[in-house]
Structure 1
């Protein structure tokens, strides 16, 4: 037949001694330094992100470097006298544009 089952009453069980909590003491200066370090890392991270965005903006909006050597010039105007002698020359290479009233 079946053997009788052994039972232990809960009051008879062996228990480990209760743990006593030892209060942890924090070093006073380390909390401030840790917070300052975390804040510094966070600020550095955001500055890196913002710097990358600004650099990307500049990279997209600056003119092409191949066009730097090409000078865009408007045509210059040369005014000659009735006898063919040179009176003046105006344009990007020689001076400011001039109106007809300023010439007479």
Structure 2
């Protein structure tokens, strides 16, 4: 979960901090978005740290690892692909079998 947490904190995880400051904090739409943002982080177990304005890295990593464990426990192994994009297309295509060899493009 550490890589995911790092990625989140360098992208979408910063939104709460950005939206809580002017000029965004004055706009009703962004005020509502900020509340939803907080709710979503709370819901996955990574609440926003008020001092940081973002979820904490360790909370994000733990939430990620808990989610992965839950998925692995609930999804039958033959229906689950543990995949990382750096592996390329082959494992994904093999798992999904998206192309019927009898069909030509």
Place the TM-score, normalised by the shorter chain, in its bin.
under 0.3
TM-score, structure 2 normalization:
0.24
Higher helix content, 1 or 2: 2
**Which structure has the higher relative contact order (CA within 8 Å, separation 6+)?**
2
Higher strand content, 1 or 2: 1
- Structure ID, larger Rg: 1
TM-score, structure 1 normalization:
0.24
